[in-house]
Structure 1
Amino acid sequence: MTNLEFRHTEADRLPAEKRAEIFADPGFGNYFTDHMVSIMWTKDAGWHDAEVIPYGPIPMDPASSVLHYGQEIFEGLKAYRTADGAIVTFRPEANARRMNESAVRLALPQLPEELFVEAIRQLVSIDADWVPSGADQSLYLRPFVIADESFLGVRAAERARFLVIASPAGPYFTGGVKPVSIWLSETLARAGHGGTGAAKCGGNYAASLLPQQEAADNGCQQVLFTDSQTEDTIDELGGMNLFLVKRDGTLLTPALNGNILDGITRRSLIQLAKDRGHAVEERAVTVSEWRDGVADGSITEAFACGTAAVITPIRELKTRDFSIDFGDAAPGELTMSLREELTGIQFGLREDRHGWLETIVEAKG
Structure 2
Amino acid sequence: MNACGLIVEYNPFHFGHLYHLQKSREKTAADCIVAVMSGNFLQRGEPAIIDKFHRAKAAVQCGVDLVIELPAVFAVQNSDLFAKGALLTLEELKVESVCFGSEHGEIDPFIQAYDRFSQNRKKYDQQLKRSLTEGLSFPEASRSAYQAIGLHSGTIDLSRPNNILGYSYVKAIKEYDLSMDALTIKRVHNDYHDPEINHSIASATSIRNELHQHQAITETVKKTLPEPVRQILLDYKQEAGLWHNWQDYFDLLQYRILTMQAEEIRQIHGVEEGLEYRLKETAAKADSFVEWMRALKTKRYTWTRLQRIFVHLLLNNQKQTIQPLLNTDHVPHLRILAMNETGRAYLNHKRKEIGVPLVSQLKKQKTQLAAIDEKASNAYYSVSSNDTRSKLRRQELVSPYIAANE
TM-score category of the 2 structures, normalised to the smaller one: under 0.3
**What TM-score does the superposition give when structure 1 sets the normalisation length?**
0.25
Structure with more contact order per residue of length (Cα contacts < 8 Å, sep ≥ 6) = 2
Structure with the bigger percentage of strand = 1
Structure with the bigger percentage of helix = 2
**What TM-score does the superposition give when structure 2 sets the normalisation length?**
0.23
